[in-house]
Structure 1
Amino acid sequence: MEKIIDESKQGESLVLENKEQNTRKLYIESYGCAMNFSDSEIVASILSNQGYNTTQKLEDADLVLVNTCSIRDKAEQTVRKRLEKYNAVKRINPGMKVGVLGCMAERLKSKFLEEEKIVDLVVGPDAYKDLPNLLAEVEDGRDAINVILSKEETYGDISPVRLNSNGVTAFVSITRG
């Protein structure tokens, strides 16, 4: 059976049920494989516990994350264009932080942080639990990176948030990597 990527979901911003006590705004887009969409749900769950609600308005975001894929060239090209857009908004809202997640982040970490200086945060697919620590580094004015690979299942204890747009479908991780 061939795996089908729903192209209509590419780049769609994640929308969650907001928690009243959360005051910071998260804007997150996913590109590439189905695992990235699942991982974005995990990231949203972690950040919800850190005081973030999602927003569909890029301009309102305190934190902008793009979950990326290195396998699909079209996704990588699209992400580069989106990073340009995020940085244009960041010039207007200098408090906004921009991060890249996933496989592309892992592969292009030095280029993004040191050469091009287009992101504040680079997080590989096995390091999402470290996001609170990495965000603290960014808040202290430092670039943050964690792309360390793990041989173990790293998110078995996190319940991904369910997206309203998922309908009756859900992601089930069989393996990672």
Structure 2
Amino acid sequence: MSGVLKKIEKNPYQYNGEFTLLNSKNASNNLLEKKLYIESYGCAMNFSDSEIVASVLSKNGYRTTNIVEDAELILLNTCSIREKAEQTIRKKLEKFNSLKKSNKHLKIGILGCMAERLKSKLIEEEKIVDLVVGPDAYKDLPNLIYKVEKGQKAINVLLSKDETYSDISPHRLNSNGVNAFISITRGCDNMCTFCVVPFTRGRERSRDPQSII
């Protein structure tokens, strides 16, 4: 498993206050909002990363939706630990073909380990894909999406020796307001036989304790 996640508890009443604040902001900027649909596959780290992605894009006018047909941007946060995991993503892309044909403004991106492993090959093999982004490049998403909106394909799969996203407050997805995960480390230095994680997640690095507490 890549990285370490720490489970934390949160007061549900505090969450309710946060939810109200988000709704207030959304109401005032309703005309400027774009809708993001994001699906996560694989380990808990991917689900945690999707909350980082949602936070990054919320600052650029995107609000998450659970209805894929309403989305202007679809992101699949992928796993590459087994071949079956990648086949699942390819089958999902086949289902999105009809959505792409009916909505010319729809953009589709692949995030995570499959993106990191296949890189530009993924765009070549799956014509429906507009952008490919590795686990350490999520802060670059606004720039990449801008390129896609200008009619280009976009890719950033650069791995980092120090990126931990410790400066980003996750946007909780599908939260019950009580439990959440916070990442403590990213990457892996153990070159285990047949394991792709060190190549898709990079070297192990830890967050500063103060950013966790």
What TM-score bracket applies, with the shorter chain setting the length? 0.7 to 0.9
Distance apart, 1:109 and its partner CA: 2.1
* Equivalence map 1:16-165=2 (5 Å): 19-20=26-27, 21=29, 22-165=32-175
Flag as ranges the 4+ runs of structure 1 deviating above 4 A: none
Distance apart, 1:90 and its partner CA: 0.6
Aligned residues of 2:120 and 2:132 also touching (Cα < 8 A): no
Consecutive unaligned residues in structure 1, runs of 5 or more = 4-15
Output the amino acid matched with 1:135: I
Distance apart, 1:118 and its partner CA: 2.5
SS at match of 1:79: helix
Distance 1:166 1:78, change over 3 A: farther
Residues 112-144 of structure 1: CA deviation (Å, up to 9, x unaligned): 212332300000000000000000100110000
Residues 48-96 of structure 1: CA deviation (Å, up to 9, x unaligned): 1100111111111100000001014443222111111122211111110
Query: Please, what TM-score do these two structures have when normalized by structure 2?
Result: 0.71
| Residues in 2 aligned to 1:163 and 1:97: alpha-carbon distance in whole angstroms | 21
SS at match of 1:174: strand
Output the amino acid matched with 1:139: E
SS at match of 1:173: strand
For structure 1, which segment, 50-59 or 29-38, has the greater mean C-alpha deviation from structure 2 after superposition? 50-59
Aligned residues of 2:78 and 2:112 also touching (Cα < 8 A): yes
For structure 1, which segment, 105-114 or 89-98, has the greater mean C-alpha deviation from structure 2 after superposition? 105-114
Query: Please, what TM-score do these two structures have when normalized by structure 1?
Result: 0.85
SS at match of 2:179: coil
Name the residue aligned to 1:6: none
SS at match of 2:162: coil
Aligned residues of 1:64 and 1:86 also touching (Cα < 8 A): no
SS at match of 1:145: strand
Aligned residues of 2:137 and 2:157 also touching (Cα < 8 A): yes
Aligned residues of 1:61 and 1:96 also touching (Cα < 8 A): yes
| Residues in 2 aligned to 1:26 and 1:120: alpha-carbon distance in whole angstroms | 15
Consecutive unaligned residues in structure 2, runs of 5 or more = 5-18, 188-213
Taking only aligned residues, the RMSD between alpha carbons, in angstroms, comes to 1.8
Report how many aligned residue pairs link the two structures. 163
Structure that is richer in helix per residue: 2
